[in-house]
Amino acid sequence: MKPRLVRLGCLTAAVFVVILVAWAFLSGPRHPVALIRVLDAAGNPVAGAVITPDGLRTKPGSYSSGHYLWRSVPEWPVNDPVSTDVDGYARVSYPQYVFERIETGEISFSVRHPAYVPDRPFRTVTTRPPSGAPWRVWVDYLGNRLRRRAFVSRPDSVVLQKGAILLLSVRPDPAVAKDAPLFAQVSGQISAESSFWIRPKQGVVSTRQLAPGPQKVRAVQFDSNGWAWFSDVIGVTAVAGQTNEVVTDLKRGVLVHGKLDATVPRPIDNGRVVAHVWPPGGEPRDAPPQWHAWTAIRSDGTFDIGPLPAGVLEIVALCNGFVSTKGPGPSRQMRYPQKHVLGTNDVNITMGLEPTASLEVQVLDDQGNALKDARVSAWPNVLYGEWAATLLTGDCYNMADRIREGPAAKLGAWWLKVPDFNATSDASGLAVLRNLPVEVSEFGVEHARFALPAVVTPGGDKRRQAAVTLKAGQTNRVVIRLEPRDKSPIRHY
């Protein structure tokens, strides 16, 4: 009788353990969590540092070279800012997969604290081999973990540095009201983060978070009409804990009066022009203070864009049926901006344009039937300064708004969205993309139940993209056949 009771007790205990383990897994976090620690240069924990995740990289292999921006999709956690506790720790949730079954290996995030230089590091969040990895990979992994006597992988700590102090002021100008707030731009900074700049007194802007080393800075101020005035871009050598005082003058921003060349039929419909200005003598790769603006093109083909600072102007335009001709640049896959040099006077320019192409995509399911509600998209890129690539005329924001309004600035209705480059198939399976530059050589298709068959790229990875060759000024046609989404998900191995 006793052995039976013992066996029953052991069975009950085993069932309880199984239930407990299952409960632990099912009630745990939906997404993996990285425990990020922030320290100062002396190794002390930094409490109250704000961490905002913004991107991912995959585990080592064919896919690890890309950087994927954080997406707002149901299967990803929301990248809300989190603050470090008294021990310097913050828990950051991240998606298990970057896409399909390609697993996350690194995350990128910004780290901000009023007393330190902002940072934007990458950190490895897991060293575990991807699912399906060969046994030799697992042997190497386990051997390394045993040698380190640890099976829990934590990201390396983030070490924040004390910054230099910058006091920037401008000499009074009668054209600008004395009580107008002063703004500033510094190397590597895109907008006016609320915790970075302070205004200790009228006509002065300051920061204690300037990164040590060579930096470039520019003052910006707006007159009563909202027009921007700019200082020259000034170089300083920052030293942690030391104060750099800069006093400078302002010059009125210039206006570019533009028009499209006569080859484009009037009236112009759906026209937009985007301008990007690099400072004189600055290397784009060093992220010097830069300026960005956009505007709509009038029906008669004219536009005015400004105010803009002195420097190298790069400008692109798009309207129904036409795109600005390529500026100088070696890549056949990119659309380069046209270039002009801006000084202190307003300028007149004429933009050359060339015909775009249309693409009709007939979407079929795996049985060859017309497929409705498939989202077809292309992504022609423009390359600024041989350094920064983005969607052609998708970057419709004004730097003036971003500086004055800070993080709350609205970036514009067309930011990262160009309606011409996206279409949804109708009941007949037809989707039409318009205004495509001829360098577009591929497009993608998304659907709730179907996907493009994966193809192997020259780099050895797999992508769900369809190839196409476009002819300008024509409607190009292609038929594609999809497969069920779960038929062959992309994996590391």
Average model confidence (pLDDT) for the chain?
A: 89
How far is residue 344's CA from residue 341's CA, in Å, rounded to a whole number? 10
More confident site: 271 or 27? 271
Strands 164-170, 243-248: pairing is: parallel
Tokens, residue 310: 């002195």
Looking at this protein, which amino acid is placed at residue 185? Answer: Q
At residue 311, what are phi and psi to the nearest 5 degrees? 150, -160
What is the structure's pLDDT at 27? 43
Q: Which two tokens stand for residue 480?
A: 């594609």
Neighbours of 171 (CB within 10 A): 10
Looking at residue 182, its pLDDT comes to 94
Give the pTM: 0.87
Residues in Cβ contact with 48 at an 8 Å cutoff, skipping those fewer than 6 apart: 83, 84, 113
Confidence bin at 16 (pLDDT 50/70/90): low
Residue 132 has pLDDT above 80, yes or no: yes
Overall average pLDDT of the 369-377 stretch = 98
Q: Which two tokens stand for residue 245?
A: 């005082």
The pLDDT value recorded for residue 344 is 94
